[in-house]
């Protein structure tokens, strides 16, 4: 991979998942290569094309709780910055 940055260049018009508010939905456009690793995200169901709903965010820059196709995943805010979504 040429771009190990926060997310892929391919994400036209996308925003980081971490910018979504509770209740908002987004479709994953790209999964970042940074900390945590792309593999681990994908294995937990966070993959390109999937629709995620933010269920809750914890105060003081705490983690996000997401719903991905009926399964809930807790993910640190820093990690959520590495996932690019198209807001729905």
Partner 1 sequence: MKQIILMGCPNVGKSVLFSRLTGVNVISSNYPGTTVDLTRGTTRIGGEKYELIDIPGTYSLEPTTKAEEVARKMLQSGDIVISVVDATHLERNLYLTLELLEMKKPTIVVLNLWDETQHLGIEIDLARLERELGVQVVPTCALCGTGIMELAAAINMAEPSKTIQPMSEEERWLRVGKLIRDTQQVHHRHHTFWDRLADITVQPATGIPLAILAILLVFLFIIEIGNALIEYVLDPFFYGLYGPGIIKAVNSFAPSGLLHNILIGTSTVEAPDFEQSLGILTTGLYVPFGMVLPFILTFYFMLSLLEDLGYLPRLAVLVDTGFHKLGLHGSAIVPTILGCGCNVPGALATRILETEKQRFIAMTLMAISIPCMAQSAMIFAILGRYGLRWILIVYLTLFVLYLFIGLILKRIVKGESPELLLEVPPYRKPDLRTLLKKTWSKAYGFLAEAVPFVILGILIVNLLYVFGIVDALSVLFAPLLTKVLGLPEGAIIALILGILRKDIAIGILLPLGMTPQQLTVACIILATYFPCIATFVVMLRELGVKAMLKATGLMVLISFSVGVLMRMILIGV
Which positions lie near partner 1, rule CB under 8 A? 22, 35-37, 39-45, 47, 55-63, 65, 69-79
Nearer to partner 1, 15 or 55 (CB): 55
DSSP string, 37-85: -HHHHHHTT--TT-EEEEEEE-TTT--EEEEETTEEEEE-HHHHTTEEE
Nearer to partner 1, 13 or 49 (CB): 49
Q: Nearest approach, Cβ of 41 to partner 1 (angstroms)? A: 8
Write the DSSP symbol of residue 44. Answer: T
Q: Nearest approach, Cβ of 79 to partner 1 (angstroms)? A: 5
């Amino acid at each position: 991979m040429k771009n190990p940055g926060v997310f892929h260049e391919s994400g036209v018009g996308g925003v980081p998942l971490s910018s979504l508010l509770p209740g908002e939905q987004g479709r994953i456009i790209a999964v970042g290569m940074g900390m945590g690793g792309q593999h681990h995200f994908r294995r937990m169901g966070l993959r390109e094309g999937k629709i995620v709903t933010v269920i809750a965010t914890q105060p003081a820059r705490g983690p996000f709780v997401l719903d991905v196709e009926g399964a809930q995943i807790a993910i640190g805010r820093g990690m959520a910055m590495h996932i690019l979504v198209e807001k729905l």
